[in-house]
Structure 1
Amino acid sequence: MYKTALVTGADGFIGSHLVEGLVAEGYKVRAFAYYNSFNSWGWLDTLPQEILKEIEVFTGDIRDPNGVRTALQNIDEVFHLAALIAIPFSYHSPDSYVDTNIKGTLNVLQAARDLATKRVLVTSTSEVYGTAQYVPIDEQHPFQGQSPYSATKIGADRLAESFYRSFAMPITIVRPFNTYGPRQSARAVIPTIITQLLAGKQEIQLGALTPTRDFNFVKDTARGFIEIAKSERTIGEEINIATQEEISIGQLANEIVQQLNPQAKIICEQERLRPEKSEVNRLLGSNAKIKQLTNWAPQYTLAQGIAETISWTRENLDKFKTDIYNI
């Protein structure tokens, strides 16, 4: 008997990869995509036809409780990924982050409770930890809202926890560290570097170069969700998906520059710097818990993931605006 799964944010970067992974696992997938007048299904539009014919696309708005409830009808497991995620955009549009990230999550939780959904996976982010107070960052690390984005994700996580504790709902909070790979938008650092280089720029404009990050290749992240859903031991838990390795943005940029154009120079641009107290200076995640509770382990090295991302971006460069700062 196959399982049915709803993926919110299925039209996005990680969501579209998760849809592919769930179909490969034999799930019957309903993909929740953001309704728009272009009738675009986001990255779902680029999936192979053999995948698309296996999924049901539901267009709606995560902020609308009625549409969310309809989407959750006859669903065994919900993977809730829909969110606004760009940190710079959250500085000038925080209301939209509250509506999407907090109220949207509440809509999923309320509907899942009423419909007795068997598993609910709520997507968090390593940004909820803020700058590391100790490393590797485990799930006991304190939370710190260093941007309106991270504050809304902390709020969504705590709502999910409250529904687990108050109503005994089968909820897991899944916390990926920085994910990268094919289909990521240019507001993120790796595609920013790659697209500028592929566009022939000799000066690569970035924000702060000293912060460190723990980068997951997107296929590893998607598989992390699936492995967490397979285990009953993960219910009621908050679980990092991390490689437990870190690299500075400057070192990362140099690695990509060496692969594409060793003559290019890396420039720290003032416009791209985050406010000093908002910049997260160090993220290095512990993956001890996910390894203890599931069969997950990262399959891609950073070099392998970067190479695959460069190859995909080269074939899809026309989808990026390389001449502006994407926030």
Structure 2
Amino acid sequence: MKQRILVAGGAGFVGRQLVRNLRNSHDVCVLDSLKFGNRFDESDIASISLAKVDIRDWHSVAALIQSFRPEIVIHLAAIHFIPECERDPTLAAEVNVLGTMNLLRACPEGARFVFASSGAVYQPDNSPHDELNSVVAPADVYGLTKLQAEQYVRYFVRQRGLCGAIVRLFNVIGPGETSPHILPEIVYQLKSGSTTIKLGNVWPQRDYIHVEDAAEGFERVALYGDIPAGETKLVNLGTGKQYSVSMLLDQLRLLTGLPIAVEHDVSRARSVDRPFLQANIARIQVEFGWSPRVEIAAALQDLWKNPDLAPGLVEQLRGRL
């Protein structure tokens, strides 16, 4: 059944893939500040509505939603690069918390509201994080803003009779990155001709999910499963597997045939860095019938073949060489 779907942050890394999944079967409106530019092609533009709106601007958000009247809102818009959040916590809170509140206040009663939270809300642990049993205690500003936003989601879902879903997303990889995370940085340095790459910490282990799997996960949560009005479902979105940066480098050596060496760069090392981050994904599999399909080797091969990095990201990475 065709539905009206608003995707906030729909021009971003996961958002662009999600919009392409939805645009032929639904009426899709993308709300985005276009911080990274308009990266949709002509076929995308012909089949969606695109509104340049900053989610911090309540009046613009409210006017757009009142005009479009979405039946589903998928909220992906955020500042999610952890060093950026640490450098400017006020901006991170304005976008990630106030922006979320603006969307919730404007969301039509009875609509389904799907919020992209993060595995960063969990307390660091060496076991897979479970939505109902793992301790929630963020270790950085980004995680704090996402946890605060989750609380507003639950509140407004109850107050406005929305059908809520909180999706705690883990580390996304694949073509189309917009922020200088470690994998696009590695690929950019290698593509620039250097086999001795400058990196910060290489020991942290993360649950890496391919961008297509992430987009399909949000699609499943938005379109399927029963969510009664006034209630909020909570699920993790990851793969249930974790890899260190060193392990990824081993995979890239096999994939590229390059003699990749690492030079430790203190300026790239995060002062706040958890050792492990892995999702338990049983709940999303049961509640929404979703499971990841892309293995890590295929995800890295896809990224290597066609990085498709945002122009602004390329400029940032060029400046760090």
TM-score, normalised via structure 2 length: 0.91
Q: Provide, for residues 243-285 of structure 1, a one-character-per-residue CA deviation record: whole Å limited to 9, x for no partner.
A: 101111111122123322522211221111111xx21210110
Q: Which deviates further from its counterpart, 230-239 or 5-14?
A: 230-239
Of all paired residues, the percent bearing the same amino acid is: 26
Amino acid in structure 2 at the alignment position of 1:93: D
Specify the SS of the correspondent of 2:277: coil
Q: How does 1:90-129 map to 2 (within 5 A)?
A: 90-112=85-107, 115-129=108-122
Question: Is the deviation greater in 232-241 or in 290-299?
Answer: 232-241
Q: 1:89 to 1:319 in 2, by over 3 A?
A: closer
CA deviation after TM superposition for structure 1 residue 120, in Å: 0.5
- Say which is worse superposed, 225-234 or 95-104, in terms of deviation: 225-234
1:288 maps to: 282
| Structure 2 equivalent of residue 246 of structure 1 | 242
Q: Which runs of 5+ in 2 are unaligned?
A: none
Q: Structure 1 residues 311 and 221 mapped into 2: Cα distance closer, same or farther (>3 Å)?
A: same
Cα distance in 2, alignment partners of residues 230 and 42 from structure 1 = 26
Q: Does 1:165 align with 2:161?
A: no
The AA in structure 2 aligned to 1:31 is V
Query: Does residue 147 of the first structure (1) align with residue 140 of the second (2)?
Result: yes
What residue in structure 2 maps to residue 181 of structure 1? 174
User: 1:9 corresponds to which residue?
Assistant: 9
- Give, in angstroms, the shift of residue 118 of structure 1: 1.4
CA 72–316 in structure 1, closer or farther in 2 if over 3 Å, else same: closer
| 1:175-254 paired onto structure 2 within 5 Å | 175-185=168-178, 187-234=180-227, 236-254=232-250
Q: 1:300 to 1:61 in 2, by over 3 A?
A: same
Q: Contact 1:6/1:71 (CA < 8 Å) preserved in 2?
A: no
Is the CA contact (8 Å cut-off) linking 1:3 and 1:28 kept in structure 2? yes
Structure 1 residues 173, 186: closer, same or farther in 2, change over 3 A?
A: closer
Q: CA shift at 1:319, angstroms? A: 6.6
CA distance in structure 1 between the aligned counterparts of 2:194 and 2:18, rounded to whole angstroms: 33
1:117 CA displacement: 5.0
Corresponding letter in the other structure for 1:231: Y
Output one character per residue of 1:13-58: Cα deviation in whole Å (capped at 9) or x when no partner: 111111011114x01100112157xxx74332xx3x2232100101
List structure 1 segments (4+ residues) > 6 angstroms apart after TM superposition: 314-319
Is the Cα–Cα contact under 8 Å of residues 8 and 77 in structure 2 kept in the other structure? Answer: yes
**Aligned with 1:270 (options 245, 261, 266):** 266
Deviation at 1:105, TM superposition (A): 0.3
What stretches of structure 1 of length at least 5 have no aligned partner? Answer: none
Contact 1:242 1:287 in 2 (8 A): yes
Question: Alpha carbon RMSD of aligned pairs, Å?
Answer: 2.1
- AA aligned opposite 1:325: R
